[in-house]
Amino acid sequence: MEMAVTALTWVLLMAGAFFLLTGALGMVRLPDVFTRMHAAGMTDTMGAGLILAGLLVHTLAGGGDLAAVPVRLLLILGFLWFTSPIATHATAKAALSGGVRPFTLAGEGSGAREPAPGEAFSAGQSGEREGGATS
Amino acid sequence: MNRALWLWGILFALWLLLSGHFETLFIVFGLVTCTVAVWVSVRMGVVDRESMPVHLLGRAVAYVPWLVWEVFKSNVRVARIILSPRMRLDPSIVHFRASQATDLGRFIYANSITLTPGTVTTGVTGDDMEVHAIVQSEIDGSEENDMNRRVAVLEGKDPK
């Protein structure tokens, strides 16, 4: 029994770590802020969720005060799942209204920020690095 | 009034669970604090259908597990895209029509879309949802229609 609990804890923790790592990899590989947000969403939902689930199994099986740790873990998970989509939405909205054109395969948006009228724009910011990621 | 009682109960349960103290003195402190907090909230007029959506509680029991399963499935889908050597991206902005009657329902729908990786709600105008999708071809609308219908059921509206 104790063996099974330990195994389940490990599986959940490793699965959570896998999603965290994949999300981090996505932050590097994906071409622009909008696609990267989807990778960030993975770390928020499954990465954090599975790790908290693993800790929950561990603390529930360990006995002890139910109020001390498991309830807090559930509260953390609840707050995280309620607030992270709002933060993601705010980021997306800010990027859109800040003039960032989403990267598309057709190539009309490079993922780089459009220069505002009259604003000096250096060549280094022109999104060649980002736009070339999947072409 | 019913909502104020709910708020009081939730606050007091949190007080007990998070403090872990069950001595008389601390319980009396908790009773007084929760009562004052609820009284102030009611006076401010912030205890309403949107801040305390307890009328959704029963139906949320059915919705949340389904949502968690959807989140899991789309996590696996996005992970496969990121881990594949040639990432098959086709990002674009798509539009859905939300059939929820209330702002609260649309809020839940928009947040559910954002919570599932691969789709992020970038804007809501009336019943029009503007959504950024990482792979457009996988968003044929069937899953979003399903979610739309379930959120409409959640808020208590008969699905069309």
Distance CA B103, CA B155 (A): 10
Q: Chain A contact for B64, CB < 8 A?
A: no
Rounded to the nearest 5 percent, the helix, strand and coil shares of chain A are 70, 0, 30
Is pLDDT of A94 > 60? Answer: yes
Please give the pLDDT value at position A105.
Answer: 76
Task: Please report the pLDDT score of residue B141 as a whole number.
Answer: 64
- End-to-end Cα separation, chain A, in angstroms: 52
Q: Which of B11, B134, B151 to mutate to test the interface with A (most CBs of A within 10 A)?
A: B134
Predicted confidence (pLDDT) per residue in B126-140, tens digit = 888 888 888 877 666
Q: Do B59 and B156 touch, CB atoms closer than 8 A?
A: yes
CA atoms of A83 and B140, how far apart (whole Å): 27
User: pLDDT band at A130, cuts 50/70/90?
Assistant: very low
Would you say the ipTM is above 0.85? no
- Per domain, the residue ranges of chain B are 2-44, 54-154
Q: What is the distance between the alpha carbons of residues B120 and B113, in angstroms, rounded to a whole number?
A: 6
B111-122 pLDDT, tens per residue? 999 998 888 998
Count contacts between A and B (CB, < 8 Å): 109
Out of A42, A89, A103, closest to residue B117 by CB: A42
Whether the pLDDT of residue A12 is over 60: the answer is: yes
* B87–A22 C-beta distance less than 8 A: no
Which range marks the domain in which residue A57 is found?
A: 2-131
Question: How far does A6 lie from chain B, in Å, by closest CA?
Answer: 23
Q: How many domains is chain A built from?
A: 1
Please name every residue paired with B123 in a beta bridge, in sequence order, or none if there are none. Answer: B130
Q: Which residue's entry shows tokens 């509260």? A: A75
> What residues have CB less than 8 Å from B18, skipping those under 6 apart?
A67, A71, A72
Measure CB to CB from residue A25 to each of B71, B82, B111 and give the nearest one: B82
Is the pLDDT at B143 greater than 90, yes or no? no
Tell me the chain A residues in contact with residue B17 when contact means C-beta distances shorter than 8 Å.
Answer: 67, 71
Element (H, E) at B131: strand B128-133
Rounded to two decimals, what is the model's pTM?
Answer: 0.81
Contact indicator for A78, B115 with CB cutoff of 8 Å:
no
Determine the Cα–Cα distance for residues A30 and A25; give it in Å rounded to an integer: 8
Whether the predicted pLDDT of A103 surpasses 90: no
pLDDT at A18 over 90: yes
CA distance B115 to B134: 14
